[in-house]
């Protein structure tokens, strides 16, 4: 059951006053707080480190060990507003078992992302990672779809000069 909190008229008036002052002074620049920018840099470094650790375990096919790092990286990238890397970490977390849906649903969801997400249309590395995850799932349920996934991974890897995935995509 949800509880509703009533705002007192004083709090509402204060909020309106603050909004009016901010709107009246659009060119007012606040000095950036060095501690805030330092914490953003620290959060970005932590997110990148978590993603790299996750990918290290994923490269070893130790998806279980990679899961907490993918989840942490996704959360940090989302807070930082880094959509691309948040999605990248999200796909890794899905592959690592963080999403409890059936493999058929996950494969379908990834296919929809590949078809409709503009980032997956323009970012070849991100698209390749999504296809890698989808190819692993399709290998369990749909051999023809798996072959298509891995053929596209091989083509993207060749285009990107990524020899590791060129070889892995060949089986």
Among residues 68, 100, 132, which one ends one of the domains?
A: 100
Among residues 82, 100, 118, which one ends one of the domains?
A: 100
Q: What is the DSSP string of 81-132?
A: T-HHHHHHHHHHHHHTT-S-S-HHHHHHHHHHHHHH-HHHHH-HHHHHHHHH
pLDDT of 40 over the 50 cut: yes
Domain that holds residue 66: 36-100
Among residues 46, 69, 100, which one ends one of the domains?
A: 100
113 and 127 share one domain = yes
Which residue has tokens 């920018």?
37
What would the pLDDT profile of 96-117 be if each residue is shown by its tens digit? 999 999 999 999 999 999 999 9
Report the alpha-carbon distance of residue 68 to residue 144 in Å, rounded.
32
Confirm whether 128 is domain-assigned. yes
Which residue has tokens 């592959």?
95
What would the pLDDT profile of 8-37 be if each residue is shown by its tens digit? 444 333 444 344 444 444 443 444 444 445
Token digits for 65?
Answer: 């060990």
124 and 93 share one domain = no
């Amino acid at each position: 059951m949800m509880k509703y909190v009533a705002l007192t008229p004083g709090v509402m008036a204060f909020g309106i006053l603050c909004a009016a002052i901010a709107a009246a002074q659009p060119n007012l620049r606040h000095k950036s707080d060095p501690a805030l920018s330092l914490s953003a840099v620290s959060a970005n470094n932590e997110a990148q480190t978590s993603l790299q650790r996750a990918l290290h375990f994923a490269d070893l096919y130790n998806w279980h060990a990679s899961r907490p790092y993918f989840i942490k990286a996704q959360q940090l990238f989302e807070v930082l507003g880094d959509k691309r890397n948040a999605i990248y970490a999200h796909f890794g977390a899905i592959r690592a078992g963080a999403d409890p849906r059936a493999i058929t649903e996950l494969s379908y969801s990834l296919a929809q992302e590949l078809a409709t997400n503009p980032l997956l249309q323009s970012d070849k590395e991100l698209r390749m990672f999504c296809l890698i995850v989808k190819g692993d799932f399709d290998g369990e349920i749909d051999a023809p779809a798996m072959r298509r996934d891995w053929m596209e991974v091989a083509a993207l890897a060749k285009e990107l000069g990524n020899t590791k995935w060129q070889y892995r995509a060949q089986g």
